Chains A and B, each alone.
Chain A
Amino acid sequence: MAEESFLADDFLRQLMSVGEVDLLVGIPSYNNASTLAQTLQSVEASLRQNFVRERAVILNVDGGSADETRQLFVQSAERIDAGHKGLTSLRTVHRISCEYDKSPSQGLALHSIVAAADLLRARACVVISPTTTNLTPSWVANLLRPVYRQGLDFVAPLYVRSRFQGLLARDLLYPMCRAIFGQRIRELYSEEWGFSGRLASQCLEKDVWHEEAVRARPEAWMAITAISADLKCGQYFLGPKTASPTGTGPDIVEAIRQTVGNFFWCLETNQANWLSRSNSQPVPTFGPDHELSLDGIPPSQEKIFDLFRSGVSELEPILASILAQDTHAQIEAIALSDRSNFHFAPELWVKTLYEFAASYHHAVLNRDHLVQALVPLYRGRLYSFLLENANSSAEAMETQSEILCQEFERQKPYLIEKWTAKR
């Protein structure tokens, strides 16, 4: 019962009327009236089929939707109650809806969910996004079961990825997190994940909920909190994921600001933990640990290269203040090279990222500006990747990805050296 003061009276009243639960399903929403009913059906079906004896609550936390998301949540629940046939839960599945703020924020939504989990003493929790249109009952069960039955504290999802999708995660977030925190969790930034009541309580105690990094992308912070506290983490293969057309995700600049900004912030706040870690360990994985599909059209590469080249030239003084002289010179040299022979080597990419992370730590300039300055360089790396993998097989791409991960691990002492150096 660490922090119930920020919860609204009405919400607290609803929580108290529920009592204790075993399972909690949190559904953060914002203008999701078109997809919420489908999500609720899958969640209800999952609880009915897989957790017959468990006490459960479905919690909708809304960021001030202008459409009828909240009303729909209550109405759909009544319809589902009246309409289901066959196997039913032996216990009542409670439904609670609350509005956490007048503006959407993943972090504020999660804050309400973990506070509710703590108050209700939930053993296993899952966050489900209503923007996922192909959510099946098995997804909910697969994220809850390892926590509830196998004692894991954090369960990340694994999806089938198109070879040109999720390159930021594959080329930066996963290998960097793996090398630094030593746990091989592929999908740190996802909209669905499971966690234990114990992890919820630990997260609730931390005074970080006002931080922009946590407000924007709380899921990776939660995973890193679990890793840092030596709690058990795992991942579950869920299959392909399709998002609602209304929720196409952030563009590249916004995605880098949110995820890389959040990740660098996690490095800063958890430095005591990762500075002493070396190598990486696989985590318990249910199903295959990756799957690449060869569908998807290669994106237009010309514009990406132009944006990289102009970015390196226009941001020259900013990059000079972030990067080491030698690294900056190498990037300037490849920016001048012929686009058909362009190659952004993994060694240079890793070195660049580590220097960015160290400069973030030393606050050589405004931290949000520093993260934004990474965007043109990421575009360069992206162009190089697209050029080299236009006809590669899934296996070849996975091999390359593994080589990059090992490069991150090999150069970790360089990050530590830069990080701990006095400026």
Chain B
Amino acid sequence: MKEVVIQGLSQAYSNLVHMFAEFLPRLLVMLVIVLVGLLVAYVLKTILRAVLHVTRLDRLSEEAGASRFLRMAALPSMTELLSRSLFWVTWSGFILIGISVLGVAGLQEQISRLFLLLPAIFVAILILFLGLVTANFLSRAALLAAVNAGYPSPKLLSWSIRFVIWALAVSMALEQVGVARQTVIAAFSIVFGAFMFGMALAFGLGGKELAREFLERNLTEKKREKHEEPQPL
């Protein structure tokens, strides 16, 4: 009996030693990969930051009004945000590669799925950023054009444009990362369709008189109105 217990214990001990002997080199490899990843991510971040400084992205972002939103959300500048995003995406990729080297059963598949998702997340962030910049630019252009032309409710027009572009950017970003793809497309179609239908109804039926006046003013009386102001030059 005693021999059986000792044999069992020695077997367990040798298994443990064997496991450690197998695991330790993998852990070491993982740590090396994580450290190399940290280095690579840092270098990439520095390069991207320098490139973005040269291309004056911050000025572009300031001009487009995106920086104001970042400040409101207590986020760093656009250059800093993008370079830090690249750092974390790169390093996270290396960490996942490192974890997969450990060979933990069941984790491999999840990691490879997550790994495939990383570039998509980065692209989704980029889509959101471009959406934000485009929405700000176009909504401000519409606001200025409407105010200078003396159209009624210029802010409503401006916010409508902003809302449509944001909705489009968010749905594109969610589709990119694969979150409830069908639902997102359906939701966007419903929201966008309902919005346009509502606008058409409001303008065509609710504001029939206003629509008639608007079209008349723009199609037939534009030239006359233009000369209500003295020739500037």
* Interface residues of A, Cβ cutoff 8 Å to B: 164-169, 189, 248-253, 255-256, 259, 296, 299-300, 303-304, 306-307, 310-311, 314-315, 318, 321, 363-367, 369, 372-373, 375-376, 379, 382
Contacts and interface: CB of A to CB of B under 8 A. Distances in A.
B229 to A, nearest CB: 5
B228 A366 contact: no
Contacts of B147: 310-311, 314-315, 376
Given A363-B63, A366-B64, A189 B144 contact: no
Q: Which 4 A-B pairs have the closest CB atoms?
A: A168-B232, A255-B232, A372-B144, A164-B230
B232 A365 contact: no
A259 B144 contact: no
A363 B144 CA distance: 17
B150 interface: yes
B140 A366 contact: yes
A250 B229 CA distance: 11
Contacts of B233: 166, 168-169, 189, 249-250, 255, 259
Given A314-B155, A369-B140, A165 B231 contact: yes
15 contacts: A167-B232, A168-B233, A248-B227, A252-B229, A259-B232, A299-B228, A299-B229, A303-B229, A314-B143, A314-B147, A318-B144, A321-B68, A363-B59, A363-B62, A365-B63
A372 B141 CA distance: 9
Interface in B133-158: 137, 140-141, 143-145, 147-150, 154-155
A299 B65 contact: no
Interface string B216-233: 000000000011111111
A318 B140 contact: yes
Interface in B46-89: 59, 62-65, 68
B85 to A, nearest CB: 25
Contacts of B144: 315, 318, 369, 372-373, 375
Interface of B: 59, 62-65, 68, 137, 140-141, 143-145, 147-150, 154-155, 226-233
Contact of B148 (A300, A303, A375): A375
A111 B143 CA distance: 35
A215 B155 CA distance: 32
Contact of A165 (B145, B149, B155, B230): B230
Given A364-B62, A366-B63, A373-B144, A306 B150 contact: yes
Contacts of B148: 253, 307, 311, 372, 375-376
Nearest to A317: B68
B226 A167 contact: no
A366 B150 contact: no
Contacts of A299: 228-230
A369 B228 contact: no
Residue of B149, B227, B233 contacting most chain A CB atoms (<10 Å): B233
Contacts of A318: 140, 143-144
Contacts of B140: 318, 365-366, 369
Contacts of B137: 366
Given A253-B149, A372-B144, A303 B228 contact: yes
Nearest to B146: A314
B231 A249 contact: yes
B48 to A, nearest CB: 22
Contacts of B62: 363-365
A102 to B, nearest CB: 26
